[in-house]
Amino acid sequence: MPKKTIGIGFGTWAWGNKLVWGYKAGTDDILLKKTFFEAINGGLDLVDSADSYGTGSLFGQSEKLIGDFLEELPKRKLKKITIATKLAPFPWRIGRNGLNKAFQQSNQRLKGNMTRVQLHWSTYRYAPWQEEQLLNGLGDLYEKGLIKEIGLSNTGPKRLNFLFQNLKKRGIKISSIQMQLSLLTKPSLEDENIKNICEENEIEYLAYSPLGLGILTVPPDKHPEPKTFLRQKLFQRILPKTVELRTLLTNIAKKYSVSQAQVALNWIRSHGAKPIVGIRNPFQAKDAISALNWSLTKSEKQNLDFCRKECLANMPQNPFTSP
């Protein structure tokens, strides 16, 4: 079972050993601030964001808000927090220095509190040379002492191992990797291979979308109507085919007098990963933190594993994930 530590991220809350949270444009900033400090005061210690969280005029807004919030934290608390952000490998960010400007801008928005820089997605499927050059560029920033840690996102096991070995030759370690993982992602050999690589090399395995965009929090007898068109279509496709899985989540939740969300998050923890879950208010922050007070039994984990394997509907796979 993962250690009982937590972190916080802006774009989505991530957690497992760590808990993280994130920003959605248009969300009440005052409410976000209350949620942020609820999480920090509850013991969360990893903040995850991205320069692309916030579009158009709000580009980088997630990082800006985090930077503002961090200024109000006592130094003793700030020292205990890992501030992580993800830089997007846009097509125009090319060459070994392709992320330098983006790094400087993110670091400025975060008020110089950046600890870990992560490559937001893999470019292997359309420009494999770009990914390697950008990562080596982050390695240069690391060697200059400008970055303390480097992480990856949406990188399959073969590419993860290649990039890990590439940086290892320079004496640089990959600290974490983010992958989509939940009871609604299709089980695969790649999942197990990534998990094994992480365990062997002490890489943090961060799982984003652990609640399946909220589907796993829906009781089996409910049929909510999301506000966005894409989410409506997703719910219409997946909800009818996940009744058995969500019934099991409900039954386990009733046993411990907790929420379905806590059960889904603890399933992630039972697999040695750290969920990154979206939190929008202090109540959700408290609920996620409370999930760290209990754990699934071996039989409960196995039952959930079986339901996941037999599930008739899955979340869409990220198209940028490399092999």
Contact 149, 117 (CB under 8 A): yes
Q: Which of 23, 53, 124, 142 is catalytic?
A: 53
H/E element, 153 = strand 149-153
Map residue 30 onto helix, strand or coil: helix
Contact 70, 110 (CB under 8 A): yes
Contact 275, 217 (CB under 8 A): no
CA 84 to chain centre: 11
CB-based burial, 60-70: b 16+ in 10 Å, e otherwise: bbbbbbbbebb
C-alpha–C-alpha distance, residues 46 and 125, integer Å: 30
Q: How far is CA 314 from CA 78, 136, 186, in A?
A: 38, 35, 6
Q: How many CB atoms lie within 10 A of CB 156?
A: 20
C-alpha–C-alpha distance, residues 192 and 188, integer Å: 7
C-alpha–C-alpha distance, residues 81 and 131, integer Å: 28
Is 205 a catalytic site residue? no
CA 206 to chain centre: 5
Cα–Cα nearest to 46, from 87, 68, 76, 16:
16
The residues carrying an active-site annotation are: 53
